[in-house]
Amino acid sequence: MRRFFSQNSLSLAFGALFLATLVAQALSGLADFNDQRVTDGLQQISLLRYVTSATFGVDVMENWQSEYLQFFLYIFGTVWLIQLGSSESKKPGETGTETDKEQKVGNYALNDSPAWVHAGGWRTSLYSRSLGLLMGALFLLTWAASSVSGWAAFNSEQLMNHEDPITWLGYLGQGDFWSRTFQNWQSEMLAVGSMAIFSVYLRQRGSPESKPVGAPHATTGQTG
Amino acid sequence: MRQVRAIYVAYLVVILVGVVYCTALGLLGR
């Protein structure tokens, strides 16, 4: 059991942190929501009612979608885009999808390579892009979920203000949807760009996200 | 690797359950 935790501590620790912060979001979101209800002269709602509301749903999904967009763009972008000196980047001249030998596919597959590497054809082609494609699919799914829950939350507000509800397509043209979208996207783009450039000059000893402490600034694509 | 795969599947399930749940909240107009 101890070995299970030590060998999987990265995904388990972040999974636990995810659950803890999701609970924290629900509790603080409820407090904020009820503050607004009191201001509006309305009755406060319970935690159960809050976590089963579209307001909670859109607040969760609008953040998920931007994270998966970030990873989708980063995974595909780093195939082609370079940052000289960054641990996050391939070396200049290595852009593109690389050779079969470098990627250990086709005649260069290893005995213990994944089954779809040996399968060839569309399966190898699909498997060769599966990480980015999954991130892209999760981005589209979470963005769609954010639009549907945001639409319902928006209509709740409309009804409270004695205004007519709108259709889902109508919501896609609303500033509320795009404001929620862009406020999350901009932060992800800044975080990715700053990580790429900061790792040129700064180090974190022992982290695979950093170059070795003594690596020259001009060294690209090396992790320590 | 069986345990690693279990974590991989658990992540996928949590994400998909979250997507379905939040979409349902919207469709039900909660």
Domain spans, chain A: 1-52, 62-89+132-224
Decide if A166 touches B, using CB distance below 8 A: no
Q: Note whether B15 and A46 are within 8 A (CB).
A: no
How far apart are alpha carbons A58 and A187 in whole angstroms? 18
Cα A141 from chain centre = 12
Q: Which residues of B touch A58 (CB under 8 A)?
A: 22, 26
Q: Is the ipTM of this complex over 0.90?
A: yes
The whole-angstrom distance between A79's CA and the closest CA on chain B is: 24
Position A31 pLDDT exceeds 90: yes
What predicted TM-score, i.e. pTM, was given to this entire model? 0.93
**Domains of chain B, residue spans:** 1-30
Position A162 pLDDT exceeds 80: yes
**Minimum CA–CA partner of B4 in chain A:** A8
Ramachandran area for residue A45 (φ above 0: left; ψ -120 to 50: alpha; else beta): beta
Tokens of A86: 């960054």
Q: Note whether A69 and A183 are within 8 A (CB).
A: no
Decide if B26 touches A, using CB distance below 8 A: yes
Residue type, A59: D
Alpha-carbon distances of A162 from A10, A138, A155, B13, rounded to whole Å: 49, 36, 10, 39
Spatial CB neighbours of A210, under 8 Å, sequence gap ≥ 6: A87, A199, A202, A203, A204, A223, A224
**Contact assignment for B30 to A57 by CB distance below 8 Å:** yes
**Minimum CA–CA partner of A48 in chain B:** B30
For chain A, the average pLDDT equals 95
Q: Which residues of A touch B21 (CB under 8 A)?
A: 57
Position A224 pLDDT exceeds 70: no
- Give the DSSP letter of residue A89: S
